[in-house]
A and B are shown apart, each in its own frame.
Chain A
């Protein structure tokens, strides 16, 4: 199940909220959340729900074992076993096909490629589990004694299938002690609705542009058409993913959980390093804390670890070469930036750093999009204008122009909202203004959210759109 779905919004969620808020004791509330989370997961993965429960049980056991053997050799073995098993599960379920295909390709073998379906959200919950066992070993968290509570942490449906990667340390206390205040419920609901609108109103309609131009063979696409589409795609990924994170954070908030922010207006960055401090923060901080600064292969070697981190970041996004290229591509620019030095880059004109970083990011999303390497090559020909020589492509074309004119407000709005405009408005109403201004702001926000909820729901009706030319009753 996904959040941007009418059945989730008007069947699953109300049932869950009703059951949750009817319970008085936190113990029962937690039980409600576990049951609904498992139903939520089983809805999309009827079989792999057992994998989720196993992963929870296994990592909980490892944590408990580490807790028992603090400062002893066994704890080191236990954390190693825990991490290795977690990564092994991830590799088996996510990368087997990719590894076998490439083995066949490089060694000219004919090993049959196994068809293993990727369990939804495995990349997210496995990373949460890894962070937990390592934190237990580092003694930054107390191992959880109750399996039920640990299962709640790992399976909690708001963040289960698309992040953010919530660290155990963040919710450790909230699992056993939390309250949903009126502010939590109201602000959480609004956050959730804003996330829904980002996904349904902005992202889905941007994606229509992307499929119109990148959906078919792109060799006849014009140069400006390619630029136009890759910009739309960059915005799409941001609104889709950050919208999902907003929904997760908002839903968590309704239940009294406070997750860390996952996006912080990434497109206002001036360098690539800054971009990654603002984009999918829970993932980049995971790699920073557990891979970059961690002595995984003996003592940390700065540049080796840097490229290892970016290889893994790319790989994490999917079992395709383009994702690995995408990660390493960012690794190269971050390497260059560290060589130049932060201080020196700060002295550069702002316009220049903005243009530089946006160019790299937007072209990066092109690499992210094209899993077909042939098409990726064509993308580079198009975007560089070389296709005008090799394919005789046009610089611009009327279809692009027609699409741009038809979506100009959507794009302008998307660009505006991808910049920190909302925090400025929030600051005016909720911090700068007096009580009357505060109340007015709150009522305006409520009205806006209701409009967004209704409009998103109406647009979701169209998600099963499947017209026929001829009568099919």
Chain B
């Protein structure tokens, strides 16, 4: 029997949903294995009844609930709670759901300062009141899913690789959704490492790294050893899917941490600073610290306090 699945996107960009579509031919297989009962991007099931006359958000019961995105406003929270109530198992899909993701960079600012900039730009009229009619009020900050509801399975990635989405969905029937190994991007990076100590400062990615385009990746020296910031050491492996090779490194670009920390409760900022310092690299050479939490700023890690100003 097909497993019933409900899917919701909260403070999200739809990239996780597109990674479901990017299953390619496998999506046809998935449609045989699961029965979607609610998925706003594809299906017209409505919160307030099909005639829009209900008073509360209602989502059908399901074996599995997949939630992408973080929790940013009161409606997200209401939907997340309803999903938890109606689904036996909750999968947090994508790094926004597991760690806040890019939108949690907003946690470095108060809502007021965000409104102040957003509604007062080069193109807006002056002194506009902040919108507040028929739209859900923002919560004080961006929350990862497990800060508000219990999560059963974590599947990070920005976006998650379709191979893992497929493994997770295919695993539903056997009650065994795939879990990523606790390994780092470096564990699967084929580049050549020569050892500590040669680099003392971090260079910004303003020029091409050294490599020969006719040679495979394992002939290119580790990008961190070339002096570029690369977050592979403190980032969970998985972005390469079944192919394993990290997708940024594959095109000679350094990792920025999109699968979140290696362990669910890790702190990419502290771990990266630690890794740099223990390799004798001056952390003051980084242009900005908050960037190290660009995918994992929820769970109270980024806060609207004066950020250290870096020169």
A joins B in a complex: no
> Using a CB–CB distance below 8 Å, which chain A residues touch chain B?
none
